[in-house]
Amino acid sequence: MIINHKTEKGIGGGNCQVSSTLYNAILLVPSLEVLERHEHGKDVTYVPDGKDAAVSYGSLDLKFKNNSNKSIRIEASSNNSSITIRLVEF
């Protein structure tokens, strides 16, 4: 976990890996527009530099807008070593 710009061990974490993976999927869909996104205070190892999306309850969000007439379904899965997010228009 990153607390006060320092990496520390703690219970929790993982939310930002999900939000960062979702952010990278959003970037691949031309009809989706990122409205709010925040970088981490330190580099993260699970996405390239500048491709992270920090979230924190009550203060930092990842927000995006669907500018198409189609609906978007978010499909997510994980295993012990990776997270996969797929955005499906229907």
For the stretch 39-72, pLDDT in tens is: 998 888 889 999 999 999 899 999 999 999 999 9
Determine contact, residues 65/32, Cβ cutoff 8 Å: yes
Of residues 43 and 75, more confidence is placed in 75
Count of domains for the chain: 1
Determine contact, residues 73/86, Cβ cutoff 8 Å: no
Q: What whole-number distance in Å separates Cα of residue 56 and Cα of residue 90?
A: 30
Q: Which two tokens stand for residue 75?
A: 């499909």
**pLDDT over 90 (residue 11):** no
Q: Which residue range forms the structural domain that includes residue 73? A: 2-89
pTM: 0.83
